Structure 1
């Protein structure tokens, strides 16, 4: 079969080079590495053949060791298994680095989705260029970095990947060999759980080393296409930051950690400025600039290396001095090196004194308790029994008086809320309004959740006329999404909130989360509930003259809203506000899509391009007709019922607890956030964090949240005689196609053969068969719908990348399931339990890291 040009490039630049460089591992001068590397291919082949024969993981391990007389002792067997794990972890890193190094060759600049190509077309089409300019005057892209642990590389490993990628670009064998040696000696996991500040430091590496230059370069690229400035009052690309500010369900985030992270962001930004300034200083050695350069030297150095107790916003002063230097160069020195000065001016305008906006997030239940506490501590009277009032009565009772609340004497979570609200004011003083101007209310269910939070601000030192804060409701569960419209309608018509929005330029941000809606209602219902909510919310906003921005909590894997993100935004349709794209990026999404200048530039370009394409598209092809909506409604309902029936099966949570690493995720030092809310209580599905939920299913290689119920929905559509309409939607609707393709991507990592031994299990056999039957049904109908013979046939490069990664980590999956099986058998042997627990925990890292290309 003849390969396409992209497939051929991938084969030569990634596959062949991986095989070549992988052989270098055998030459590393480490304890028994060569022996490990020699045996691993045999073990991998043994796993592959055994899985095809539906052999249980325990039997696979036992039969493998039965071939080698030297592995009779249990200690020798465990030693080899741990060395296999270490070896495979590093193979995954090598594969990551090789894919990244070949990025510019495997992703051609002229492919669909390129901003450069779009602007090139516009340059010869004045009408199109004018339309793009008009659109860009309002459009913005906000990328918000979060610490959610969907990838487990510590910062030290990320730095090696970066250096390894650069060495691989030039085939620098000596450097590659040295870096592989470094990799062999570098631990892949933390001895202790990271703090929120640790997480912030890790993510800030990307701000400093990637986003600082990429964001500036892309905005300049766009500006240079137009004769006059576009971005005078807003930025094209904005950065947000959650570590240290996101305290929803994370008791380790405190006001002190928020303050520390805010100071860290400022310090790192000034070090970026200082590095650029030092280069500038070596070039600008002329008369007339001494005073301005000395002042800049002082500002940049002081704020980079000397801690200030009460920092202030220096943006205007820095810009004034830089502009003075520029004026002298133009007037007296023929404009020599003025480009370098303009580059720094550009960056200061973009990042000010804050680098990335630090969002604050807290659960509505915590905020309600805080409101009750503070309400009882101030003199402003609320009706007796306020908490028992219905929503309408509460809205009539809420007053917006300013008050000075006591500074202490509250429950810890309430106290943290009040202290953080006061801190936001200080952060704005130090870095400007954008330093911290958004408070996100998780689990927002009522308009009073927003209005009561405003009370807390007015009782904690903020003035009504100076309330420079955006209050962002987060609607996440299927039920909350359905109620989002009435909640926002109430707010838009509420006198005080309406006045507040007017002061904020009549702009409202609404966050829609994907994770909990998937856990709550399954993949199809989650997608469709969010889509319908966006249509309703857009209609309401337009009716009330509000400029709406949706902030999507998209996550990494498709089961958490990830997938081909730019295609998702390019196919919004006219019913949905899309003037502003805002989304969370995390874990493997950050390192795989934004981990280097090349990948970040390409992916941010695609996102900006998606926004422009969506705005310029005047056709109705991405707007569902009433008939199409009715069909998807029916499919989502069928899918939802199937998923809820699965969730309500008494074995559902028990299956996940006993057969996946779920219970052990809490012992993995990857996140400051607990695996579940209410961490001291018995495990309940509603308390389980979506990341833990999705991660556990992916470790099982079943990915249930990414497909379950979709097959049942497609089957029902066939039975109802609307199959041709569904096929037509796949062929013509970008939105529906993206939904289906992301589901297929999630299914491409499923392998039920690994757990096929459960088919005859007395306890779980019937439950496992139910999962497998739905998968087989979904797969067969997906292939029929897309007119393909294998999953992801339409995306051959991505398909091959996934297949290679799955082959690399298959031994890890087998070792993990073997250890889980053995845990059940040896639960009374404390020493063996300790070893098997460690085997499970260690395998989790490599399996998750290898899934980076699903983002």
Structure 2
């Protein structure tokens, strides 16, 4: 214990010296830069920050704080002058966030060097003297995999130009190159952060591909190299463990801007970027290998790579095996004739081709089950399909529908003009086959069914494939149900039982290696049932689904839709995987990484390698130990059942409060999020209708609460549930569960992280609001209760006491963006008044611009 405390103290000391001190030094340099021809903006900003801090402590309104500041420190107090200077403050603060990110990232290895070790290597060493452990390791390696899927959710703000500056700035800060830092800060100040118009899905894909090209291409290969070396040292065969996935351009659920053309363009773009990476590596390789005997294969590989990287008219095909064959020829010649000189460089490129093939990342297709049902209904009207179905098919029971499905291959002749969604689905199904032929099967082999509520949702989709150019024998597609709401999660086991027992689906799975991916959504389940119920529902669904899969001898992989913040499945993600017992399939870890999680956890090669290693270590450790999960013991399970239900009832009661949605609309930028030009995806699914909670996207829902600094989805109901158990005399049981269950402990730790990024002092003046004061007090009381009970449970004095570095980082970031939060609330206040149309547009723009910096600083707030 003392050793752990010392290690935490050392890390905190390193953080203060390496990060906080250096940020303050470079920030003082930054504040003197004369951006935008606004005199003294950098000088006034520190004074404004102090005014904001004092005003919040005194529970003043944003208007009172800002008006008092302008009265004391400026001569021009007209609305236009105030707005203009506030915009300049925003621009400075946005770049202060970037500077802090760069300073923190530059110190990443020093802060995290001793946190994790190579779990695989550790177990391999233990296996030398334990044959049973060695057999278990070999079996686990054969089965284990990690798939990271980059998604296009709209909370990743930085364009490629800014990402490049951040990368260069981080490198300069690592070596304290003041001259370069000064120049890069000037470049940062003059570089636009945001687009003037919303990006297309292809624009989003191109932006996100920056991480593939500049981070994952190297990080994943480096990790795989370490794995290969560890296995080779113990005479074990190498195994590809890391896979990459990609959603931009393929995810059309609720996004009317994604079309078949987008999907095709993105698949071509990924391929071209990959081959440019290969070509870049090959040029370095060729520069070193200047020996006899390798001229011909080097010439062949160079020509093929060049054409695939730069010739837009080339006929695309999967050439990964061809490349590996010729690269191996070069490698073998080096080993046999040149003492293996530079063979390691060739091995590195071979490894990358084995990892990324001709596709780089697998492009997932996703669509809502309700759309797919409409497509099936459309096709049933056409010949020859119409003869196979009764007219009342839609009104039949689930069991009756499944009996009617025939899975006959056919070519549908479309008599009626299809609407855009139907047309897109049918065209996409056809194009997936072409993508596989061009880039390889792994380029696009999964179709994810959102809002999956019944087995027929999957079986009907299979029929759509068979009616649109696919044959049963070449159906190289994995059909992935996505269970999202609390009710859907509860029904998931029964749905999969129906599928596993269905003759056609069973036969299809056999051809796919008896492997089944199932996606579980954290975001919508949290919005639906609150933080604790969402986590507990997913846990129980995983147990039930694992049991069903084991019964049918299916190798199950859970694909977790984890967002950035803890309320959407983020936080200490690897600890969830490490805490799984043998009752939950955990040998194939798959998860989405989205929004600020991408830049904060995978924004550099160092941080990406570290976080990939953490996930692999978690999977290896859990797979080797395969402990029973104590949450399944009756005492613990009953306790969590009760707490989840109490938390759920508390959260649902809040959702049903008549002021719930109007509070969000009035005090947060929720209604303005649709005007933020960072995403092709609408804020809500029913784009043309009035705002309804059920249509509101979970990301927008969570973002709105985070902008308020209240983070309700990340904790609400926890205090009520814990207090109820204390009153019932079960407190000792709750404490024992916390101490013995890694899964429950991670839930509590992530909840504390959410609360650490909350600050009810910012909105304390709401208590005086005649309409919403009582509602604000409901939220504040639950926050206070939750904080009190969580600290009591953990035996801590402060939130995140176990994570001093992360706690300190959050505190610094919250201080940086406090003025943005107040400017946002000030602008929203002004929008409630009678103002001109010109002023309305100005205040809306002011509020919108603050959202970027708040989310960027929070790193996992949206």
TM-score (norm 2): 0.96
CA contact (8 A) 1:573 1:623 kept: no
Aligned CA distance change for structure 1 residues 644 and 730 (closer, same or farther; 3 Å): same
* 1:384 is aligned to 2:391: yes
Q: Shift in Å at residue 702 of structure 1?
A: 0.5
1:643–1:708 Cα contact (<8 Å) kept? yes
- Partners of 1:223 and 1:327 in 2: CA distance: 18
Give 3-state SS (helix, strand or coil) of 1:225's partner: helix
Instruction: Output aligned runs, 1:48-447, within 5 Å.
Output: 48-108=53-113, 110-112=114-116, 114-115=118-119, 118=122, 122=126, 127=131, 128=133, 130-227=135-232, 235-308=240-313, 310-380=315-385, 381-406=388-413, 409-447=417-455
Quote the Cα distance in structure 2 between the aligned partners of 1:853 and 1:795: 16
Q: Which moved more, 1:402-411 or 1:503-512?
A: 402-411
Tell me the TM-score normalised to structure 1 length: 0.97
Secondary structure at the residue paired with 1:680?
coil
Corresponding residue number in structure 2 for 1:37: 42
Deviation at 1:768, TM superposition (A): 0.7
> Is 2:124–2:137's contact at 8 Å kept on the other side of the alignment?
no
Aligned to 1:776: 784
> Deviations for 1:325-372, whole angstroms, at most 9, x for unmatched residues?
223223333322222112111111111100000000000000000001
Instruction: Please give the secondary structure, in 2, of the residue aligned with 1:235.
Output: coil
Q: By how many angstroms is 1:536 displaced? A: 0.4
1:363-391: CA deviation from partner (whole Å, max 9, x where unpaired):
00000000011121131321221111110
Distance 1:511 1:775 in 2: 31
| Structure-2 separation of matches of 1:230 and 1:468 | 30
SS at match of 1:67: helix
Which residue is 2:849 aligned to? 842
Tell me which moved more, 240-249 or 719-728.
719-728
Paired with 2:812 and 2:110, the residues of 1 have a C-alpha distance of 19
1:443-502, Cα deviation, whole Å (9 max, x unpaired):
000000000000000001111011110000000001111111111000000010001001
Distance 2:121 2:141 in 1: 16
**Secondary structure of 1:286's aligned partner:** coil
* Matching residue of 1:708: 716
- 1:585–1:53: structure 2 CA closer, same or farther, 3 Å change rule? same
Confirm whether residue 457 of structure 1 aligns to residue 457 of structure 2: no
| 2:252–2:367 contact (8 Å) kept in structure 1 | yes
1:687-731: CA deviation from partner (whole Å, max 9, x where unpaired)? 000000000000000001001111110111111211111111111
- Structure 1 range deviating more: 803-812 or 272-281: 272-281
Which string of whole-angstrom CA distances, capped at 9 and with x for unpartnered residues, describes residues 762-784 of structure 1? Answer: 11111111111111110110110
Q: Distance in 2 between matches of 1:646 and 1:766?
A: 12
The answer to whether structure 1 residue 626 and structure 2 residue 634 are counterparts is yes
SS in 1 for 2:632: coil
Q: Say which SS state the counterpart of residue 508 (structure 1) adopts.
A: strand
Q: CA deviation at 1:162?
A: 0.8
Once the 2 structures are TM-superposed, how far is the Cα of residue 54 of structure 1 from its aligned partner?
1.1
Q: Deviations over 1:628-675 (max 9, x none)?
A: 010000000001011111111111111111110000000000100000
SS of aligned partner of 1:226: helix
1:22–1:235 CA distance, 2 compared to 1 (3 A): same
Write out aligned runs for 1:577-596 (5 A). Answer: 577-596=585-604
CA contact (8 A) 2:485 2:525 kept: yes
1:488-499 equivalence runs, <5 A: 488-499=496-507
Are 1:562 and 2:567 matched, yes or no?
no
Q: Equivalent of 1:471, from 464, 474, 479? A: 479
Distance (whole Å) between structure 1 residues aligned to residue 368 and residue 815 of structure 2 = 41
Q: What per-residue deviation string (whole Å, max 9, x for no partner) do you get for residues 528-554 of structure 1?
A: 000000000000000111010000001
Q: Is the 8 A contact 2:703 2:861 kept in 1?
A: no
SS in 1 for 2:449: strand
Distance 1:118 1:99 in 2: 29
State yes or no: 1:13 paired with 2:18: yes
Select which of 507, 529, 537 maps to 1:529.
Answer: 537
- Partner SS for 2:317: coil
Q: Is the CA contact (8 Å cut-off) linking 2:307 and 2:314 kept in structure 1?
A: no
Partner Cα separation in structure 1 for residue 355 and residue 35 of structure 2: 47
CA 1:21/1:699 → structure 2, altered by over 3 Å: closer, same or farther?
A: same
Q: Distance in 2 between matches of 1:144 and 1:691?
A: 17
Equivalent pair of 1:137/1:230 in contact (CA under 8 Å): no
Aligned residues: 852
Provide the residue aligned with 2:760 in structure 1.
752
Q: CA deviation at 1:113?
A: 5.5
- Distance, in Å, in 2 between the alignment partners of 1:231 and 1:585 is 30
Cα distance in structure 1, aligned partners of 2:848 and 2:353: 44
Secondary structure of the 2:461 match is helix
Change (3 A) 1:236 1:34: farther
Name the CA distance, whole Å, in 2 between partners of 1:202 and 1:406.
Answer: 39
- 1-side partners of 2:168 and 2:632: how far apart? 47
Matched residue of 1:505: which SS?
A: coil
User: How far apart are 1:189 and its partner, in Å?
Assistant: 1.3
Query: Contact between 1:378 and 1:403, CA under 8 Å: does it hold in 2?
Result: no
Distance 1:120 1:239, change over 3 A: same
1:32: Cα distance to partner?
5.0
Q: Return the match for 2:621 from 613, 616, 621.
A: 613
Give the Cα separation in 1 of the matches to 2:314 and 2:652: 53
**Paired residue for 2:33, among 28, 36, 41?**
28
Q: In 2, distance between residues paired with 1:116 and 1:40?
A: 50
- The separation in 2 between residues aligned to 1:124 and 1:21, in whole angstroms, is 51
Q: For the residues of structure 2 that align with 1:547 and 1:430, how far apart are their CA atoms?
A: 29
Task: After TM superposition, give the deviation of residue 407 of structure 1 in Å.
Answer: 6.9
Structure 1 counterpart SS, 2:391: coil
Match of 2:670 among 645, 662, 667: 662
Residue number among 29, 46, 49 corresponding to 2:51 in the alignment: 46
C-alpha displacement of 1:620? 3.2
Secondary structure, counterpart of 2:60 in structure 1: coil
Q: For the Cα contact (< 8 Å) 1:223–1:229, is it kept in 2?
A: no
Q: Conserved in 2, the CA contact under 8 Å of 1:622 and 1:735?
A: no
